[in-house]
Amino acid sequence: MDGNYRADRCDLCRSQQADVLAHLATGRSLRSDRQMMAGDLCKLCCQRCGLVREGHSRQSDALIDCYTQDYRVAPDDYTFYTPGGPVARSTLFCNWLTTAFGQDRWRTLGRCLEVGAGAGALLAEFQQRFPDCALEGIELCAASAHQARRRGLRVRQGPLLQTADDRYDAIYSVAVLEHVPSPTRFLQELRRCLRPGGLLFLCQPTQDVPSYDVFFVDHLHHFGTDHLRYYARKCGFRELGFVVGHEWMPNFSLHLWQATEGAADAAWSGSRAETACAQIVSQVTTDMNRLNQTLDRLATAQRRVAVFGLNEVFALARAYSDLGGFPIVCGLDDRPDQPDLAKLGFPVVKPEACAAHGVNDIVLAVNKVYYPQLTSRLRGLGVGVHPVLN
């Protein structure tokens, strides 16, 4: 990942005409690793092609620092709790990448590269399944790359493919494209590293369906399927197939492209591609305004307020509503001993212990599917319950 990020023109169609899609003026914004950053959130929508992008330009060194030093080193792997039992993120992505377009494509690969290999959890999974394939990785974060090498994986640290005269049969990249300053440059570079006819598996958040992705300040671009299809043509690929949504990651899409001879640098044609971004921005802005009114009322009445749900919805509300500066008496969680919860700056206890903290009201910061069950349970504790999402 090299180069500056320029907010003044669209990376895909080069148009300089854009509308402000979101401007949330709380002075805070949220990163995808749930770290809070200083500064308002601003997202733009290209008037010509509809690609949504970050509204503030960034210098290349600031971007690189963000991923090499400052970015929270992702836990080695993440666990999805499915009805069939816990599944590691690496297992899940490996299954998806290898089965979505047929497993035979993978059995015959000689050399394969993972771009953005992190600490190597996914690469290790691939290596185990395809022992005859020469797998390599590249990773910007030195600590993660070091961790991957310690587990015996061939992971190089540095910005993307500086000196690659190597040609790979396949490249895959999961959750990277949305972070790079210029997807065009990034994809052209990947194209150069593939042999003719080589395969690129790309997986990242999709804006075909509503998600909170557009509220992450470190996601510089937000793509719909039509945008990715045009990127393929622009950067020297042929789209072989795509899948929108996985059972456990409904807001991710997976694309299979093949390296072709030469790129068609045709201008964007047709009308702009619509995404779900505007809808989710309008919905969340309404929810945050309503939450502000609720918090204002609770503060005036001098109520003691706790929060149930300390994950994504909470992070969103803390960044983009007055909850960020609100005195929270305690957090409530059924498993209050999780290490992450110790860093929140207020005590975390089981919901049943909220009386001991003198709690009068609970802000419910969870996905709406849990409302019916949780609302009756928490009201049973004799407190007011105020959902964040409507």
> What are the backbone dihedrals phi and psi of residue 177, each rounded to the nearest 5 degrees, phi first?
-55, -35
CA dist 104 and 99 (Å) reads 9
Quickly tell me which residue has 């970050």 as its tokens: 54
* Shortest distance (Å) from residue 214 CB to Zn ion: 16
* Shortest distance (Å) from residue 223 CB to Zn ion: 11
According to DSSP, the residues that pair with 112 across neighbouring strands are 135, 170
* Shortest distance (Å) from residue 53 CB to Zn ion: 8
CA dist 215 and 149 (Å) reads 33
Region near Zn ion per CB under 5 A, out of 8-16, 61-69, 70-78, 185-193: 8-16
By CB under 5 A, the count of residues binding Zn ion is 8
Report 24-63 residues binding Zn ion (CB under 5 A).
Answer: 46, 48-49, 51
With beta carbons less than 8 A apart as the criterion, state whether 357 and 328 touch. Answer: no
Q: Can you tell me which of 10, 94, 160, 170 binds Zn ion, judged by CB under 5 A? A: 10
Q: Nearer to Zn ion by C-beta: 19 or 33?
A: 19
Region near Zn ion per CB under 5 A, out of 2-10, 63-71, 95-103, 308-316: 2-10
Q: Nearer to Zn ion by C-beta: 109 or 180?
A: 180
CA dist 329 and 354 (Å) reads 9
CA dist 67 and 258 (Å) reads 29
Strands 221-222 and 194-205: unpaired
* Shortest distance (Å) from residue 17 CB to Zn ion: 9
Q: Nearer to Zn ion by C-beta: 50 or 116?
A: 50
Report 54-113 residues binding Zn ion (CB under 5 A).
Answer: none
Q: Nearer to Zn ion by C-beta: 10 or 313?
A: 10
With beta carbons less than 8 A apart as the criterion, state whether 194 and 8 touch. Answer: no
* Shortest distance (Å) from residue 45 CB to Zn ion: 9
Q: Can you tell me which of 1, 5, 13, 232 binds Zn ion, judged by CB under 5 A? A: 13
CA 331, 336, 341: angle at the middle one, nearest 5?
65
Q: Nearer to Zn ion by C-beta: 51 or 315?
A: 51
List the one residue out of 197, 215, 193 whose CA is nearest residue 205. Answer: 215
Instruction: List the end-to-end C-alpha distance of the chain, in Å, as a whole number.
Output: 38
Q: Nearer to Zn ion by C-beta: 183 or 351?
A: 183
Report 112-131 residues binding Zn ion (CB under 5 A).
Answer: none
CA dist 231 and 238 (Å) reads 10
* Contacts with Zn ion, residue ranges (CB under 5 A): 10, 12-13, 15, 46, 48-49, 51
